[in-house]
Structure formats: C-alpha cells, structure tokens
Structure 1
Amino acid sequence: MFKIKKSLLHQTFTKLSEIKVLVIGDLILDEYLIGSVERISPEAPVPVVWVRNEKQTLGGSGNVVQNLTSIGVNGIVFGRIGQDKAGESLEKILLSNTVAKEDLVLLKSTKIPTILKTRIIASHQQVCRVDREEIVPLTKEEETVILSQFKEKVKDASAVILSDYDKGYLTPSLIQSVISLCNAENKIVTVDPQVSHFFLYQNIHIMTPNHHEAGKALGKKLTTDSEIESACREISDKITPVAMMITRGEKGMSIYERNANSFYHIPTVAKEVFDVTGAGDTVITTYTAFVASGMSIKDAALVSNVSAGIVVGKLGAATVTQKEIEETLRSLGYLEENV
C-alpha cells in the first residue's frame, strides 16, 4: 500500500515556494468558445453552437507553467511565439498569472504564427477543434541565442522540464545541448516526450510517455504489467535515465527505478474522466516539483498520479492545488496522519 506521511507532505509544500523550475518547450494558446446547441444548420448537417462565453488559457508547455503556479512553484519559461495578436495574448497571460518578466525568455518569430488551438464546447462536450500553426524548426542562429540565454538562467533553477509537443522549438540539437548543460550544472532534467525525438533524451532524470507513445517508439503494443516492465527496461537501456515512467490511462502509471531495478505500479485514482487534456502536463509538473523539493521518486510519482486523477475530472487543460492534492491523498487512504 502506498502511503505518504502528512508531515513530509507539508514539509514539501513549504519547499515548493523556495524552488524554481525552468520549463522549455512549445508554447500554445488555448481558446475556448463555450455555448449551447439548439438546432442543426440549414447549410450543412452540423450543429449550430450559440457561443455564450469565451476564454483563453495557456496550452502546451504553457500549461506546465500554469501547473507550477497552481502548486506554488515559481517558473522560468523558454519558448517561441509569433508577432501577432495571439502571441500578445499568450505573453500577457504568462506575465499576469505565472511568470516574472525577467524569467520569461521568448523568441518572437516573424516566420510563424503563435500556435492557437480553438475548442468549441457545447453542453460540456467538445464539438470540434480548430488548429492554427506552422511547424518550422529553429534556425542554428536562433538555437545559439537560446542556448546562451539558457546557460545563464539554468543556474537559478532547481530542475528543468522539457515539454516537447514537436512544434519546431525543441529541435534535436537543442534537446541534446539543453540536457548537456543541465547535467553540467547538476540539475534535475525531466521530459514529457514526443515519439519522433524519443531516444534523443539521453542521461535525464525521468521521461513520462503514455503507453501509446512508448509502444509506438518501440513498435509494439503495451498492455500488461510485464509488457510495461519490459518496455521500461528496453527504453532505459537506450537513454540511461535515473527512472522511467509510463502513464497508462485507466490503469494508472508504472515507474521503474533503473539502478535499483525496481517497479511501482500505481492504480488510477480518477473517479470520472471528463477531459484528459493536459493530464500529461500535470504529471510531469507535479512529479518534477516534488522531486526537486526532496521527495523520493516513489512518493513524487504517487502525488503526480493523484494530481492527474484530479485534473481529468475538470474541463480543458486544468491544474491542481496543494489543498486538492492533500484532500485527495487523504480520501484515498494514501495520507499517513501524524501519530
């Protein structure tokens, strides 16, 4: 049975406000048009959505940053936006809710638009999604500028998250250079991966793919515990991480500690899955923050699993709070009260 001492949890909560986590990856602006459907269009057999509310939030690596803020962690952000209205909105949200100006390092490109994903919601159901993006890799000159800035900022971070959505910012050479710089500075490096870059994330602390991503990278289907364990070992042999995590949807998650050759299979805690958007962001964020604050791999994984179970019960790319984490740990019997 998994248990976390209440005193350890509160001690870690206190430390969260004392650390900084650097997030580098693909920034996305999420837009929601929320309304109701009362008729079908006379122009085509599609529903007519009467929009009653609109909102914009941070998506992609921006949602990782939102998750940091929600649990009380300060973030340093590296990413790319376009010189457009969506970029202005994204930057404004980052500065107003999450990141200090000196800790926001944005490449403002004239070549691409800010990635904008518009979701149309009616009666709590997503009707469709409209994506506006251009996938253009960074130039060598842009990489050089980013690495120069990163080399300075990483010194202030306790850990670094690579949030890879394969939108062109995290190029293969940038990935390898960032990890190398982190290792030189003895910083924790965690990765939410893309299959196309899967085996580039060498010598990191942990990678957190879902079972579909891990299976695709290995060219096999991963269903049973034994298949997951075999996959963790196979991937770890290639990228030599400290640990390997595979999230498994309704089956929870599995964690492999390479040096100890030990596995933890943590069952899902989600009571009702409303929207899986951003669940992976929550996993990588909470795990990284809690490990950087001194928690063990096993305990941090449990916290991240519980956190993911909370956010899938919310609409959109949601976040969790310290209070929600503690209450959920207690309700599930995972919190060991002080004696």
Structure 2
Amino acid sequence: MNAQTQEGNTMANATTDAPSANDQITANIERVRSLTAEGKATEASELAAETEKLIKSVSGTGSVKAKKDFTAQLKAAGEAPKADEPKKDKGTQVEKPKGKAVSGTVVLGREDWHNNPDVVKLVDLGTQKATEGVAAGIVLQGAGRTLAQVVHDMRMTMPHKSGLPDLLAIQKPTKDAAGEIYKRVEATLKAEDVDKADALQALQKSANNAAGDVLVTYLRGLDEDEEKGLAELTARFPTAAEAYSKAKAKGQSPKLSESVYTLYAKEEMTLPRRTRAEIETERRRNAKALEEAKARGEVSEDEPRLTPAQRVTSYLDSMAGELAKLEKNADKLSAAEKRKAKKRLAEVLALADSVSDML
C-alpha cells in the first residue's frame, strides 16, 4: 500500500526544493508541540516561524492540501491546552468520527490517565528511569532514549479524539501522563540538588528529542516480520490491518507501516518518516552539494543563504575543538562559574546523547 497512491495522503506527494523538507516540517511540528508543553513559548514561536517558511515552500501534486494540513498541525502544536477542555475522572466515551470505524485497542473512556492501569504502571516505570538517569547529577548515556520509549508506550495506550492511539501526544491527558514523571522526580529533589535539577531538565529535553526516533523505529519494525507486524496492526490499528489485507488480496505489495501512515493522514495527522540522524545526513548532503555547485559557478554566493539547520551542523562539527578549549580553562573558574558551566555541559551532553546515532 504505497502512501503516494492513497487518497487523503497528499502530503507524501507534495515536494519542496529540499528532498527532506517534508520530514523537517513534521519534525519541527513535533518539536513545537514539545516546547509548548514545556512552557517554552519563545522557543516554540521562533521554531514555528521557521517552519511556516518551510511550509510555504511546499510545491508539487497535492501541495495546496499539504500546506493547509501542515499549517493546521503547526497551529495546533503551538496552542497550550485549553482550560475548558473536559476533564474526565471516571472515563466517558470518546466520540466516534462519523462514518468511520474507530481503530485501535485503546480502551475509550479512560481519557484521564489515572484511570488507566497500564499508563499508571508506565508513569511509575518512567519515574524510576528518570530518577536513575539524574542520580549522578548528570544525564546518563541513553537515559533520554530509554525514557522516550516509556513515553511512546504511554502514547500507544492513550486515545486521540479520533479513537486512534495518541502517537503524537496531541491530547492533554497524554501530555499530563508524561509530565507527571518529571513532576514526581522534581518533588524528590532538595533545594541544594542544583546539579540534579539541571540534569532532570536536560533529560526531559533529550527524551522529547528522541520521541520521533522511537516512533519511526516502531513503524519500521512493523515491516520486518509480516506475521508479527500484521498481528500488531490487528491489535492496535484494525482499520489499517483491514486495508492492508484488502490490498494483498488484490495482488498489490503494500507495506504494513504505510497502512498506518495512511490511516493517520486521513485524520490529518502526519507521522514522522525519518529519524533525526537521517534528516541531518540529508542536510549535510544538501549543504555539500550546494558548496560544490557554488564552486562550479552554478549558484551565486548570496543565494540561497544557509538555513539555521545548516548553521547548526557547522557548529556541531566544531564541538570537539571547543570542548578542548573548555578543558584548558575549567580550573580557572570560580565555584559559581563552575556550577553554571556544569549546567551548560549537562545540556550539551543531553544533546550529544540524543544525536549519538549520527556520530
């Protein structure tokens, strides 16, 4: 079931000048959603403005609808949960989309995560992993990815208003469940636990950054073993499983993952297709091609300018040299300056952890 042949999945057909732009837009929207949930309005606004420019550059077949869908998703990602959003203590039925079957094994009505035993256990597990991750006052290697996997399992259990698993954490109860992990760990810290508080903040950022990669890995895993993948689809996404089986019966060569992508696209939700490492590799490849084109005189020096993402790549390339300079000057810092530097180092290490698969 190729996504480009599916009705309602026009964003897969729309293109921009950069091959990975659609993936970058999707990744940016997820990041805006995370920043908004963390209360970082300024950062979310800046990234949203950058993403709006990328959306305007979308062209090709289906680009009008793709722009509209991306814009709607970006707007929703940047909105804080509404105060009047219903809070359900004992669970009420999530309304079925008219004319559509509700998919997934999510128990509808358990919209408040406290009433979902599986999520309660995952919150406990996430709290344990987060506590272990910041125990030394610095984020442990792989802790962000581990916590992101726990949060992914929560999203698989919590329902989106469409009835599908809330894989993008759009609903407030899903966000609240993940947020509870950090609240619990923070509540155990003493006023003097400055290093651990900084590490917890860095861990949350690392886990948010890794969330998309965990989801991409899960979706690709569906295609690795058809029997197991189909069983997973039947349990989690029965509508997608049905569509896959029908395509197979017609002699087509569908992919299990594509049936899920299509299912969510019909609900105007765009799931990520590439990991951050793959997006970054594409950026570097494009940057190299641009430099080669400039050398051949095919592109002027002034046009196009490097994007913020390309500049970040350049900064990362020089990180090793900058760390060497830090080592030479560390002993010259005062206690307060060392504390400040250690906080910054924790953030850098969290970033290094989240992108370690690129290196």
**TM-score of the superposed pair, with normalisation by structure 1:** 0.24
Which of the pair has more CA radius of gyration? 2
The structure with the greater share of residues assigned to helix is 2
